[in-house]
């Protein structure tokens, strides 16, 4: 009897351990199921931050989208689908496990998905309200906080874990739990082309100097701590920053035909290239010609080739597509599984202002700095100086 009990105990423990191991090492699943007239292909990749990807067909509709939600690796998490054809749009709202709405209404027109909060169509809102849809969660209701004659902060819109820094004429203004200023220069500097935000740092040339410089100032935008990195060589102000890779910044001195690497980690400046060997990065390392370097060819960290767009980036699971229309760039997102079906996101007038974070994109819209998330566009700062000086940059670090 004791032997049977001991064997049963060992069997139960082994069973529990095996099931735990299967759950722990399970990296995802792909399942197919039907809800009404819709066929759903659901793919979970737990290596990719609980990313659920859906491909849904039915009602002469084919739509793809993703969500990030921790359902403990559960399968078949879409429980209901509400579909209505409204004017020229095919509108679609999935209801997930625990009766959750995790995405805005998606309205398909030709090969583009528009979220209902961008269409602002009361007919769409009223049609879906009876299913628990609340359009108010997509409204920007942040109150304004006047900082100066030229700046307004929308403090309610600042994400809790984002550290935001804005260039000023003498240094930086930090917007975290409270606003603070970091002085770098003795006098106002209106243009600072040799400057860059990378990771949690702001790096800028010593504009206190006149014709050439040896110092780079580095500011940690989390705590405002300022340090400097010194070069053995004099560097001309006729230089430009090519880009950054792994917190190492690359600069090309057009007067000396030399390329330098500025290391924040090791606090040094190293010559790494000359007119015969100039490094270049666009997802992988290569070299460029002296002519290209003199024409200020910059690194393209997220660059990808997709025809028909003025700019195309790949970040995370998405392609971000930029198309110039009426002096602005319309921004779309496409899943890596289907580049042809795109989702409208926002408009920007400055391609150099784009900052990709895990689930947000920061960008500039005229005099506003904003970010896009699944709840739509939110303003964080208005700076009327941008009307006269578009050299003012924003930096963000997500802690």
Over residues 99-113, the pLDDT tens digits come to 999 999 999 999 999
Residue 149, pLDDT above cutoff 80? yes
Q: Where are the alpha helices (DSSP H) in the chain?
A: 2-25, 116-119, 122-129, 290-294
Tally of structural domains, the chain? 4
More confident position, 22 or 318? 318
Whole-number Å distance between alpha carbons of 299 and 287:
11
Residue 4, pLDDT above cutoff 50? yes
Q: Torsion angle of alpha carbons 115, 116, 119, 121, nearest 10°?
A: 170
What is the bridge-based pairing of β-strands 318-325 and 328-335?
Answer: antiparallel
Residue 24, pLDDT above cutoff 60? no
Residue 83: inside a domain: yes
Least confident of 10-19, 55-64, 134-143, 209-218: 10-19
Please tell me what DSSP assigns to residue 45.
E
Same domain, 84 and 119: yes
Same domain, 296 and 316: no
Residue 228: inside a domain: yes
Residue 290: inside a domain: yes
Same domain, 328 and 200: no
Number of H helices, E strands in the chain: 4, 32
Same domain, 188 and 115: no
Same domain, 77 and 155: no
Residue 245, pLDDT above cutoff 50? yes
Residue 44: inside a domain: yes
Same domain, 134 and 11: yes
Least confident of 176-180, 212-216, 291-295, 340-344: 176-180
Instruction: Tell me if 313 sits within 8 A of 303, measured CB to CB.
Output: yes
Residue 13, pLDDT above cutoff 90? no
Say whether pTM exceeds 0.85. yes
User: Would you place residue 6 in the very low, low, confident or very high pLDDT band (cuts 50, 70, 90)?
Assistant: low
- Express the helix, strand and coil content of the chain in percent, nearest 5 each: 15, 50, 35
Same domain, 14 and 133: yes
Same domain, 316 and 238: no
Whole-number Å distance between alpha carbons of 335 and 52:
12
Residue 46, pLDDT above cutoff 80? no
Same domain, 196 and 281: yes
Residue 296: inside a domain: yes
Same domain, 8 and 122: yes
Same domain, 292 and 191: yes
Residue 169: inside a domain: no
User: Would you place residue 339 in the very low, low, confident or very high pLDDT band (cuts 50, 70, 90)?
Assistant: confident
Residue 171: inside a domain: no
Residue 384: inside a domain: yes
Query: What is the reported pLDDT for 324?
Result: 94
Same domain, 332 and 220: no
Residue ranges making up the domain that contains 318:
312-348
């Amino acid at each position: 009897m004791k032997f049977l009990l001991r064997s049963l105990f060992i069997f139960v423990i082994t069973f529990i351990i095996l099931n735990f191991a299967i759950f722990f090492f399970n990296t995802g699943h792909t399942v197919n199921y039907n809800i009404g007239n819709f066929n759903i292909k659901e793919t979970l990749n737990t290596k990719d931050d609980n990313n659920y990807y859906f491909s849904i067909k039915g009602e002469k509709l084919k739509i793809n989208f993703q969500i990030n939600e921790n359902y403990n690796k559960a399968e078949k998490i879409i429980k209901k689908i509400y579909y209505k054809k409204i004017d020229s749009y095919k509108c679609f709202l999935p209801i997930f496990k625990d009766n959750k709405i995790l995405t805005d209404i998606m309205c398909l027109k030709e090969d583009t998905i528009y979220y209902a909060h961008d269409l602002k169509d009361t007919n769409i809102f009223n049609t879906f309200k009876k299913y628990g849809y609340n359009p108010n969660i997509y409204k920007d209701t942040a109150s304004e906080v006047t900082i100066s004659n030229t700046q307004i902060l929308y403090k309610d819109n600042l994400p809790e874990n984002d550290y935001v820094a804005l260039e000023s004429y003498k240094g930086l203004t930090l917007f975290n739990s409270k606003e603070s200023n970091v002085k770098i220069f003795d006098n106002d500097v209106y243009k600072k082309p040799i400057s860059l935000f990378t990771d949690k740092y702001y790096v800028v040339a010593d504009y206190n100097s006149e014709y050439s410089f040896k110092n780079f100032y580095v500011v940690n935008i989390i705590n405002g701590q300022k340090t400097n990195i010194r070069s053995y060589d004099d560097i001309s102000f006729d230089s430009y920053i090519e880009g950054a890779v792994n917190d190492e910044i690359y600069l090309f001195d057009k007067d000396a035909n030399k390329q330098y690497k500025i290391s924040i980690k090791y606090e040094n400046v190293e010559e790494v290239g000359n007119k015969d060997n100039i490094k270049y990065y666009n997802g992988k390392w290569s070299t460029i010609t002296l002519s290209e370097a003199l024409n200020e060819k910059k690194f393209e960290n997220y660059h990808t080739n997709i025809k028909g767009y003025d700019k195309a980036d790949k970040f995370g699971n998405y392609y971000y597509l930029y198309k110039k229309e009426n002096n602005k760039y319309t921004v779309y997102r496409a899943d890596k599984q289907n580049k042809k079906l795109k989702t409208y996101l926002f408009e920007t007038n400055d391609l150099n202002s784009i900052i990709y974070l895990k689930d947000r994109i920061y960008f500039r819209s005229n005099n506003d700095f904003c970010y896009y998330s699944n709840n739509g566009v939110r303003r964080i700062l208005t700076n009327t100086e941008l009307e006269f000086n578009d050299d003012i940059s924003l930096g963000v670090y997500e802690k």
